[in-house]
Structure formats: structure tokens, C-alpha cells
């Protein structure tokens, strides 16, 4: 009986609205376009421990009407390596952005954990598969809607439909991505 009361009290306390806000509201607009052109992707197994240049471009929206809270976007990325292994990926990105305005809103740091899910494909022989990642972006607004994008970590895995990409290798792969770029909120 005590456990039941404890669980009920915990659920009631969790569901109660919080009166204090941990983060300020963003001072930037809800739509964004960003690109991590200085991004790299490391494949430890599938492509024999190779690192690829991974430029991407992403467009998205925050549903709060500001540059914080729930966000949904679409990203197009490419893993550019040797001709035989160059890949593309088209993914949906979802996350929650936390805004930290400072200097009276002149600057703003946005902490943005996210996840992606979508399709990846190799440009030779049209092999395709699924892709899933989780990661973290930091955005530093330094001039109106313009911001510096830093992606210190994005961990992902994927699976191709068949294992003809690299003969004798698995069709499941793991990646580590990191990068830097620019974005604009409007």
C-alpha cells in the first residue's frame, strides 16, 4: 500500500505544472536553415576505419514561435569519400532546443539535443537502407539571426538492405559525426 501511495504522489508531483522556468525564452525567430560544411563522419567497421567529409544542409521550424522548444526539420547530407563508397542521407530531425540569451538578448546560446531517422543510399548500384542518429548541437547567435553551429557529437547507426556494398563485410554500420557550420533563423 505504501508503494502505491508513493507512486501516486510521484506521478501527481510530476504532472503538476512548474511555476519556475529553468531557461529563458529565445529572442530569435522560429524557422531556421543551417549547414555544417566542416563536418566529418567516421566509419569504424563498414568502410575499414575511414573518415569522410560530411557536408549537410537542414531546414526546420520550432513550434513555439521562437527559436526554442520542440523542433522538427529535414536534413540532406552526403558522406563524400572514395567514389565507390560515397553516400547520401535524407533524414527527419526532431529535438528540443534550450535557449540561453545573454547581454540583454544581443547574444544567445541554444543547446539542442536531437535525433534523426531516415534513409541512406550509396550512389553506386543504388543500395539503400535506414539511418538513425542521436546528437547534440550548440548554436551561438552573434548577429541578429546569424549563428555559429557546433556539433560536437552525433552517434549513428544504419543498415543497408544487402551486404553488396563491401563484399565480406556486414551491412550494419556505426558512425561518429562532428562538425561546424553556420545557420540563420528567420
Distance CA 1, CA 73 (A): 46
26 pLDDT higher than 90: no
pLDDT, residue 167, reads 60
Residue 85 falls within a domain, yes or no?
yes
Residue 16 falls within a domain, yes or no?
no
| CATH number for position 81 | 2.40.160.20
Q: Which domain holds residue 124?
A: 23-185
Residue 18 falls within a domain, yes or no?
no
pLDDT band at 18 (very low <50, low <70, confident <90, very high): very low
Residue 149 falls within a domain, yes or no?
yes
Residue 64 falls within a domain, yes or no?
yes
Other CB atoms within a 10 A radius of the CB of residue 158 amount to: 21
pLDDT, residue 51, reads 79
Entry pTM: 0.79
Overall domain count for the chain = 1
Residue 100 falls within a domain, yes or no?
yes
The predicted-structure confidence for 61-118, as pLDDT tens digits, reads as follows 999 998 899 999 999 999 887 656 678 899 999 999 999 988 887 899 999 999 999 9
Residue 114 falls within a domain, yes or no?
yes
20 pLDDT higher than 50: no
Residue 84 falls within a domain, yes or no?
yes
Closest CA to 156 of 185, 178, 183, 133: 133
Question: Of 34 and 44, which is predicted with more confidence?
Answer: 34
The predicted-structure confidence for 136-180, as pLDDT tens digits, reads as follows 999 999 998 999 999 999 999 888 776 655 566 667 778 899 999
Amino acid at each position: 500500500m505504501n508503494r502505491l501511495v508513493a507512486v501516486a504522489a510521484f506521478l501527481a508531483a510530476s504532472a503538476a505544472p512548474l511555476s519556475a522556468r529553468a531557461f529563458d525564452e529565445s529572442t530569435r525567430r522560429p524557422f531556421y536553415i543551417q549547414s555544417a560544411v566542416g563536418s566529418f563522419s567516421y566509419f569504424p567497421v563498414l568502410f575499414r576505419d575511414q573518415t569522410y567529409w560530411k557536408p549537410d544542409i537542414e531546414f526546420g521550424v520550432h513550434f513555439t514561435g521562437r527559436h526554442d522548444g520542440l523542433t522538427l526539420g529535414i536534413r540532406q547530407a552526403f558522406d563524400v569519400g572514395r567514389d565507390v563508397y560515397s553516400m547520401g542521407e535524407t533524414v527527419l530531425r526532431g529535438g528540443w532546443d534550450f535557449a540561453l540569451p545573454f547581454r540583454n538578448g544581443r547574444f544567445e546560446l541554444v543547446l539542442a539535443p536531437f535525433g534523426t531517422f531516415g534513409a541512406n543510399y550509396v550512389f553506386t548500384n543504388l543500395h539503400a537502407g535506414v539511418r538513425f542518429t542521436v546528437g547534440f548541437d550548440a548554436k551561438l547567435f552573434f548577429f541578429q539571426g546569424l549563428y555559429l553551429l557546433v556539433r560536437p557529437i552525433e552517434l549513428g547507426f544504419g543498415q543497408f538492405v544487402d551486404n553488396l556494398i563491401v563484399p565480406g563485410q556486414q551491412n550494419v554500420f556505426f558512425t561518429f559525426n562532428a562538425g561546424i557550420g553556420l545557420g540563420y533563423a528567420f
